[in-house]
């Protein structure tokens, strides 16, 4: 075949390929549903902000040292909630479960229907003493200023708990009687792993009901435009899965000795080399599962140049993956991440460590497993002198909830009713939530805090100057009232 004919065939193939790419991009249809907005149907009751501020003033911290936990603060918060929401506490049954956790039961009129579980947690992370002077308002003062309510727990996660209770107080006051039983699961040790709170609540619910219809916990939020590549309006990201968690300990041992006569490779050097190898060779990236569905849902809303890419992942997946890998936040959505977090060696600068230790934390992508992480660690380190084992709590990644399920549509409908200007999309929760204990109760587990975050909002979780926009909190109350009404039928 002549050069001209070869060139002609190549041009024909390229032309056909380009045509397919353009047609596929042009045929993408929006996933966003059209609904009637809720408007002011569920306007929050007066004093809602002040009641949340009051809850913030209880420093219900889950400390790093469990012996430093103060149960009296949790008991005081429980009493405060009883006083703040009198109609709710007259109508619903409340019980303390596990470690200071609360389980509310709003009995439905039709016991044949499976219950719904709405979740939040009462505990908060400590305030780093080194950052206290950087807070513009004291972390437990509950100040309202400059359009925000300030304080530890305003975002993570007392706003969720109080918004659910505000919505319930509003509905009870209107004489609402749900057909379906509604359960509120409020853990009190989520920041410590949730094993004595949410895990106990989940087992209690299992013993009484077997299974539930669906679960909504914290996880996603309404994020500003542009955070998701290609978006120009806010996006409500609803977690349909969350990553697993495993910390891997690397240790090496030797006889130690004086630092004046060191071996060519010390125990510290051996472990450091192992950590460096793991950081240099992370587990492979893959745009799949919940992270792929995020872009599937938003492709139609993107500029056409990006639509060409995401509508044709079969062709451009390597390019997309390479681009997403450049940012820590998007890289974490497409791979099991590697984070060296702890290193220990000799207690003195002139003594060789006879024992060196490092801990590397892995957040495991759904589809990967703990065993695969350990295999990767051993193969990558390739050093029999470095011992490898998991330490602490190990949690596998969750299952992925379906976006074809009626309950997904219900949550999506509620979001669109309450926030008509936002896009709704599924996504992968990168951190851990209490919802992981409820996967055995239902296939429909959704993770969402219905709050519009300010541009710096993601950094405020666990950070200094944590705060919630006052208007955003009132919208969250409307969301939960609408969700309870929608789920009650």
User: Of these residues, 100, 156, 169, 190, which one is catalytic?
Assistant: 190
User: Of these residues, 123, 169, 242, 301, which one is catalytic?
Assistant: 123
- Decide: 422 and 236 in contact? Cβ < 8 Å: yes
Residue linked to tokens 């399920």? 405
Longest dimension (CA), the chain: 88
Could you give the C-alpha distances from 377 to 275, 374, 383, 440, in angstroms and in order? Answer: 9, 5, 10, 30
DSSP string across 36-64: ---TTTTPPPTTHHHHHHHHHTS--B--S
Is 446 strand, coil or helix? strand
Give the integer Cα–Cα distance in Å for 186 and 101. 6
The region, left, alpha or beta by phi > 0 then psi within -120 to 50, assigned to residue 98 is: left
Give the integer Cα–Cα distance in Å for 371 and 219. 26
Could you give the C-alpha distances from 70 to 78, 172, 302, 345, in angstroms and in order? Answer: 13, 32, 49, 34
Give the integer Cα–Cα distance in Å for 383 and 263. 17
98 CA to centre of own chain: 23
Q: Quick one: which of 19, 184, 23, 28 has its CA closest to 94?
A: 184
480 CA to centre of own chain: 18
Could you give the C-alpha distances from 127 to 38, 68, 123, in angstroms and in order? Answer: 38, 14, 12
The region, left, alpha or beta by phi > 0 then psi within -120 to 50, assigned to residue 335 is: beta
- Decide: 62 and 125 in contact? Cβ < 8 Å: yes
Cα torsion 476, 477, 482, 484 to 10°: value is 110
Q: Burial, 233: exposed, middle or buried (Cβ in 10 Å; 0-12, 13-18, 19+)?
A: exposed
- Within 10 angstroms of residue 146's Cβ, the number of other Cβ atoms is 11
Scored b (16 or more CB within 10 A) or e, 389-398 reads eeeeeebbbb
123 is catalytic: yes
466 is catalytic: no
Could you give the C-alpha distances from 58 to 80, 147, 472, in angstroms and in order? Answer: 9, 22, 22
Catalytic site residues?
Answer: 123, 190
């Amino acid at each position: 075949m002549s050069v001209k004919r070869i060139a002609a065939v190549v041009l024909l193939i390229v032309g056909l390929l380009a045509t397919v790419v353009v047609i596929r991009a042009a045929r993408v249809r929006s996933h966003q549903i059209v609904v009637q907005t809720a408007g002011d149907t569920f306007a929050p009751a007066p004093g809602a902000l002040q009641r949340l501020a009051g809850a913030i003033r209880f420093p219900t911290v889950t400390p790093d040292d469990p012996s430093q936990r103060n149960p009296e603060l949790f008991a005081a918060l429980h009493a405060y909630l009883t006083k703040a929401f009198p109609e709710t506490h007259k109508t619903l049954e409340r019980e303390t479960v596990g470690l200071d956790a609360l389980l509310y039961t709003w009995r439905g009129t039709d016991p044949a229907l499976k219950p719904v579980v709405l979740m939040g947690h009462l505990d908060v992370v400590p305030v780093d003493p080194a950052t206290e002077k950087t807070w513009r308002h004291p972390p437990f003062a509950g100040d309202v200023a400059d359009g925000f309510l300030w304080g530890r727990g305003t975002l993570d996660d007392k706003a969720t708990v109080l918004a659910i209770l505000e919505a319930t107080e509003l509905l009870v006051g209107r004489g609402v009687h749900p057909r379906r039983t509604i359960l509120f699961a409020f853990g009190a040790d989520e920041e410590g792993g949730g094993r004595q709170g949410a895990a106990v609540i989940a087992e209690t619910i299992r013993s009484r009901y077997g299974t539930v219809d669906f679960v909504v916990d914290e996880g996603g939020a309404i994020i500003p435009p542009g955070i998701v590549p290609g978006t120009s309006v806010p996006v409500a990201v609803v977690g349909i899965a969350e990553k697993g968690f495993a910390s891997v300990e690397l240790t090496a041992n030797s006889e130690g000795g004086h630092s004046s006569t060191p071996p060519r490779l010390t125990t510290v050097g051996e472990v450091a080399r192992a950590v460096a190898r793991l950081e240099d060779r992370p587990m492979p990236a893959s745009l799949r599962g919940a992270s792929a569905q995020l872009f599937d849902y938003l492709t139609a809303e993107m500029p056409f140049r990006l639509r060409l890419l995401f509508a044709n992942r079969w062709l451009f997946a390597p390019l997309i993956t390479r681009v997403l890998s450049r940012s820590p936040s998007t890289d974490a959505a497409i791979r099991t991440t590697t984070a060296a977090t702890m290193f220990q060696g000799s207690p003195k600068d002139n003594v060789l460590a006879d024992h060196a230790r490092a801990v590397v934390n892995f957040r495991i992508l759904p589809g990967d497993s703990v065993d695969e992480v350990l295999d990767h660690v051993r193969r990558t380190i390739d050093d029999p002198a470095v011992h490898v084992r998991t330490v602490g709590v190990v949690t596998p990644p969750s299952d992925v909830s379906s976006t074809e399920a009626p309950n997904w549509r219900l949550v999506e409908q509620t979001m669109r009713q309450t926030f008509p200007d936002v896009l709704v999309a599924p996504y992968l929760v990168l951190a851990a939530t209490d919802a992981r204990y409820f996967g055995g109760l239902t296939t429909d587990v959704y993770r969402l805090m219905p709050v519009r975050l300010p541009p710096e909002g993601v950094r405020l979780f666990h950070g200094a100057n944590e705060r919630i926009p006052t208007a955003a909190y009132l919208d969250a109350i409307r969301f939960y009232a609408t969700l309870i009404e929608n789920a009650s039928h």
